[in-house]
Structure 1
Amino acid sequence: MTTLTDRPGTALLVIDVQNGVMAASLDSAAVVERIAGLVERAREEGVPVVWVQHSSEELPRGSEQWEYVPGLQRADGEALVHKQYGDAFEDTDLEDVLAAAGAGRLVVAGAQTDACIRSTIHSGFTRGYDVTLVGDAHTTEDLSAYGSPPPAGVVAHTNLYWSYQRAPGRTAAVVPSAEVAFTA
């Protein structure tokens, strides 16, 4: 259970599923489809959906690359967190958004596995959140030219190590999208 005992709720974090990020990502169409299904289920169950959107030199705010992919649309009233660093908590209002929603448990999907997903799940976990990574709903591009394993290896390794993450008073888990339970 979360160490944030006054926050019994769950939030779905949809991280950086933007045109410029997903264009070269592994299995992007299938990942977007699974995320869309998670968003729909979260909405049906009254679970807050929090959209995280990265901006950088490669993803200038307002550009086509910066926009979320066409298959995912933020609904009126759903939180949008703008970030400039990999960690969605770093120099953003994400913590305030989650506190206002009463969320102590995070379900995380999106991109990029080896950057923004990795840093956000670790950051959330160290801040006291229970963190579930949706194992078939995160992806990355091929960075093997820089020494990284191929994208499928990055996704598999992240799922592997996150499934064994432990800390006092918190849980970490990896589940496929079909098995995500938004209630603890």
Structure 2
Amino acid sequence: MTTLADRPNTALLVVDVQTEVVAAAYDRDAVVANIRELVDEARRAGVPVVWVRHSDESLVRGSAGWQIVAELVPDGGEPLVEKSYGDAFEATTLEDVLAGLGVGRLVVAGAETDACIRSTLHGAFTRGYDAVLVSDAHTTGDRSAWGAPPPEQVIGHTNLYWTYQTAPGRTAGTVATKDVGFGAAH
């Protein structure tokens, strides 16, 4: 139902599951395991897996913390988009990659819920993509010392509002890992 013409395909978008980003993240091991399950299922179904990796002054490109976690290994043929802003579309090649793959629907997983996941979901949706958040495959660190709710509440709130996100000609929503069905690629 995307508003993007000639974009019938779905892609799994794995955002910032990097060593330093998820080192102290809430329920890290379970979330990474769910993302691994999604990656495996997408590959079996022939659905593109698109990786996103963040860098900035505190997450230095090429450093050990910048690397994608050891449990997840991008296939050499899978696109890897480098970014420096929360929204994975800002000043990156993501739109070109997705257009080249004919993708109009994104299944989104990764980190951090209250920053890059949220920004990328909204960025995708406002650009015309259908955007589904995998409810148990995103995580964040504890920012409660700065006044944020605890991570489980941040995740719960994001799942709640994304479940009911609407806009003309696009679909949004959430789905649990076990219920993601990529089916055969278009």
Letter in 2 for 1:120: T
Letter in 2 for 1:20: E
Following the alignment from structure 1 to structure 2, what is the Cα–Cα distance between the partners of residues 76 and 43? 13
Match in the other structure for 1:35: 35
Match in the other structure for 1:46: 46
User: After TM superposition, where is structure 1 displaced by more than 2 Å over at least 4 residues in a row?
Assistant: 181-184
C-alpha distance after superposition, 1:4-52 (max 9, x if no partner): 1310000100000000001110000010000000000000100000000
Match in the other structure for 2:19: 19
Following the alignment from structure 1 to structure 2, what is the Cα–Cα distance between the partners of residues 105 and 123? 13
Matched residues, number:
184
TM-score (normalizing by structure 2): 0.97
Letter in 2 for 1:40: D
Match in the other structure for 1:98: 98
Q: Which structure 2 residues correspond to residues 29-178 of structure 1 after superposition, within 5 A?
A: 29-178=29-178
SS in structure 2 opposite 1:34? Answer: helix
Shift of 1:181: 2.2
Following the alignment from structure 1 to structure 2, what is the Cα–Cα distance between the partners of residues 56 and 24? 19
Following the alignment from structure 1 to structure 2, what is the Cα–Cα distance between the partners of residues 86 and 55? 10
Shift of 1:92: 0.1
Shift of 1:56: 1.1
Following the alignment from structure 2 to structure 1, what is the Cα–Cα distance between the partners of residues 2 and 154? 27
Percent identity of paired positions between Structure 1 and Structure 2: 64
SS in structure 2 opposite 1:174? Answer: strand
Match in the other structure for 2:181: 181
C-alpha distance after superposition, 1:61-118 (max 9, x if no partner): 0000000110000001100000000000000000000000000000000000000000
Shift of 1:152: 0.2
Following the alignment from structure 1 to structure 2, what is the Cα–Cα distance between the partners of residues 147 and 125? 28
